[in-house]
Structure 1
């Protein structure tokens, strides 16, 4: 199998904007497009291949037929035919709701789902744009609950101003929100389980308040103040720069100014490449695909080598 590109799955959101079109070149149809799901096996939102002989085949169909050849033996033995990663681009024209995600144990018990550990790579940010990540002090469950009643939750939260290239690791239980003016790439466990705890009292287009998950969130939140979310990573040219290594995914950063070759015969995992700037051609034994800023490609686990051909690109490399 050759490097596979997929059709974006575009999502309108209350807080969405136009940057997925203006910055990333997506064919958006509204000025409130909040998400582009780039690689997904979530039921009801399964990605479809858009290049080569397999064009029109769904990711799930290919997983079911190719199994280890697509996923890699170790990934298939761990997850079976459930694809473990979800890749999105998110454009927040307005603030997203304050939210968090349950861990694997809680998600399995309540939703028969994976938990949701994720990371963000900021691709574009307006002046003074910021994220909310965690609390600004240690908070008790009682103090947190009282802040919801008093409408003072925002006073307890930690705000981080951001710029292009900033990277954040959001482990389960950490309260967080993407702020207005931020466009980012999100890498996460395959899960759509989110506990929304505050939404700025906004109403949807029908005048309704959005559902909150106040009670479910109480025993899922990490109430400690922690400084474990900002990812410091090297940015040397034309070499692997490690970013995140967690039980659910590993992410590396490449800044390419020339072609490089990688022997991946020992990896035993599919590889996802996300182009966050410039353009790069990705070549394996069976073919090639070119991606530019805002595009993603999946390299099958059976691949033995990868050539990354570019005169200028920044890419994220994701494996299990």
Structure 2
């Protein structure tokens, strides 16, 4: 384990121009009242993302407005009707459901909503409509406010007892709460809120106890600026039953936790964007950027293929001093589309940032192993009748630092204890079918879900030791090298839509997004500087193990070691075949490393 890197930034922010208006605490509600007073009769909408404390927002608004109406209380369907409507999306499984195609309006009673619209239209004086879906009751208000909420904060609140929207499931299994959010509420909420972006007068951040308010112009300007420069989303960290201590020791993480198992360092659907406005931190979901500026962020080719969906995920899996990950497999594309309504599956890879004693990976079946015999053994282990003899059925390979292991869907796999993995994968989130969890229970004391009935039809049995060694381990191809640089393609497998290129460099190297988003991690070196050859953005310093995004709209950029730093290495991921190729000369190849 290398020396600690205290320069890892756990709270990256996008700086905003000095003097940008921002309102904090009680000034939030005073500003809304002042804005409403500028018209004789103001209709104010405060539309809340599910997870926002609507009651707290309502109480604060009542302190400055005489008439405040909770729109869900007035016009939402009864929760039993909502449950029946979305039952097919949730099913009975603790973890998996089916992506909803319902819209937020489907959760409202059309007649009661229309009656509320008439009441609002006839009322004299200011009136405030609050709650998720408040905009449905006043499509053209005088003031439009969005109270937004990052997904990670919602999950923390769910663990603390937050129910799903209008439900009474305070004490329900967190996995079931998350499932309802993931497959239903957040889908509707994103479709709803992106329609508000252009007309938004204010964005309200209630992530902490101290609310903050920015104008709609600031919100839109910040997102416009973000796609012109490199940036990072706010990472989050979480303990787990197999968690280790590398992130605590090397990245210098604080926290009164037994370990850190996970870090989501670049998952825009769940991470946040943090703005810095004269020292005031304003947080919003980074998904706002994906939804509002998808072409500039992703590039026209990636957008044409995936829509407003960020398809690349970088996260950390820390088992240094911990335990093995669960033995698992990811669904094939046809299976995930048919069973869960997802567009694409979780193809992935493990890049080994660090490896301790006996660290390695389980990958593919052993030669001569029998499929039915293995699943019979897994079933017995799941019933607690015996321990699964993994050494009989699954290959175990030793690993070393900077190895890259490719894991197309359908491949049995997991990392062992004493590994620090940078996981590079397609962004399909929760679609891991656990096959064996080493006789463990979760941190909540409950057995962790195992999905053998899903795993069985997805395991690709032809991926034995020979196939794995030939196709999945360190398929590193030298693309170019010269004085102070070396460029290598490291993966992923041809079955996967993500490609990765590793640059080793002690001199400045010119890169080019070529119209598709780049997701990059500094896998070697204390710090590096990202710069624009034309001065289009301010120099941007990144640190060891930090993941950062270079939007497609950036085009050319350079990366060099920071002053006093020797050789660095970056691993860059991008979507194959979605760029707009130009003629590639030897000199161009030296700089870009792009060959698809």
CA offsets per residue over residues 5-56 of structure 1, 9 Å max, x none?
12112122111122112123344542321011011134xx233246799973
For the 8 Å contact 1:124–1:183, the answer to whether it is kept is yes
Q: How many residues align?
A: 316
- Whole-Å separation in 2 of the counterparts to 1:164 and 1:220: 30
- 1:248 maps to 497
Q: Would you say the 8 A contact 1:129–1:182 is kept in 2?
A: yes
> Residue 273 of structure 2 aligns with which residue?
48
TM-score w.r.t. length of structure 1: 0.92
Residue in structure 2 matched with residue 269 of structure 1 by the alignment: 516
Corresponding residue to 1:83 among 293, 310, 316: 310
Please list, as runs of the form range in 1=range in 2, the aligned pairs for 1:203-222 lying within 5 A after superposition: 203-222=441-460
Query: In structure 1, what is the equivalent of residue 474 of structure 2?
Result: 231
Q: CA RMSD of the aligned region, Å?
A: 2.2
User: Equivalents in 2 of 1:153, 1:271: separation in Å?
Assistant: 41
CA distance in 1, matches of 2:403, 2:433: 25
Task: Write the mapping of 1:4-153 to structure 2, written as runs, cut at 5 A.
Answer: 4-42=231-269, 45-49=270-274, 56-92=283-319, 93-113=322-342, 114-148=344-378, 149=380, 151-153=387-389
* Higher-helix-fraction structure: 2
Per the TM alignment, residue 57 of structure 1 is displaced from its structure 2 partner at its CA by 4.4
Higher normalized contact order (CA 8 Å, seq sep 6+, divided by chain length): 1
Contact map agreement 1:282 1:306 (CA 8 A) in 2: yes
Out of 287, 291, 304, the position equivalent to 2:555 is: 304
Residue aligning to 2:593: none
Of 421, 429, 436, 1:184 maps to 421
Distance 1:57 1:176 in 2: 35
Question: Which deviates more, 67-76 or 21-30?
Answer: 21-30
Give the 3 Å change call, closer, same or farther, for CA 40–205 of structure 1 in structure 2.
closer
Tell me the secondary structure at the aligned position of residue 172 of structure 1.
coil
- Contact 2:264/2:271 (<8 A) preserved: no
Is 1:193 the counterpart of 2:431 in the alignment? yes
What is aligned with 1:316? 571
Change (3 A) 1:50 1:37: farther
Asked whether the equivalents of residues 237 and 262 of structure 2 are also in contact (C-alpha less than 8 Å), the reply is yes
- TM-score, normalising length: structure 2: 0.50
Distance 1:81 1:184, change over 3 A: same
Contact 1:133 1:174 (C-alpha < 8 Å) held by counterparts: yes
Determine if contact 2:331/2:431 at 8 Å carries over to the other structure: yes
Q: What CA distance in whole angstroms lies between the structure 1 residues aligned with 2:314 and 2:397?
A: 23
Q: Which moved more, 1:110-119 or 1:57-66?
A: 57-66
- Richer in strand (by share): 1
Offset, 1:76: 0.8
Aligned counterpart, 2:230: 3
Contact 1:115–1:172 under 8 Å retained in 2: yes
Q: Radius of gyration: which is bigger?
A: 2
Say whether the 8 Å CA contact 1:41–1:82 is kept in structure 2: no
**Which sections of structure 1, spanning at least 5 residues, go unmatched?**
none
Whether the aligned pair in 2 keeps the contact of 1:140 and 1:223 (CA below 8 Å) is: no
